[in-house]
Amino acid sequence: VKMVPTRNGFGQALEELGQDKRIVALGADITASIRMDKFYASHPERKNRFFEIGIAEANMTLVASGLAKEGKVPFIGSYGVFVTGRNWDQLRTTVCYNNYNVKIADAHTGISVGADGATHQALEDISNLYYLPNMHLFVLVEEILRQ
């Protein structure tokens, strides 16, 4: 079995899922880092279904909620510490409360990113989301599980 980073598996899965016109993707300034660019790299016609929000995870979640309300299936992605911590209130009150179908890609979890320092380590990402209503957590530990 060839071991590859889970972010590669996420990018490949997002590319495959992109065949569904309801799928949209939103990034928070780390699109290439977590391989979200695969969604549109080989499919330029999908560029209008990708939104680069910038370093604004809370805003990204609010945009995703609006898209979900209108029938889209948004995938949002950022570093775990920001998408689950700083963004917790928006997840709780817009995504979970309304039971919107928003998918969250949480990259750089735990202490696996030592070189990036404590500000980028998400030690509490799972516990931040665990008790939210209508939140379902899946922890992908290797790319082969994506298949």
Please give the positions annotated as active site: 57
H or E stretch at 106: strand 103-107
Give me the half-sphere count of Cα atoms (radius 13 Å) on the Cβ side of residue 11.
Answer: 19
In the numeric block, which tokens belong to residue 94? 């817009």
Write the CB contacts of 112 (distance below 8 Å, at least 6 apart in sequence): none
Give me the half-sphere count of Cα atoms (radius 13 Å) on the Cβ side of residue 65.
Answer: 18
In the numeric block, which tokens belong to residue 59? 């805003």
Residue labelled with tokens 């979970």: 96
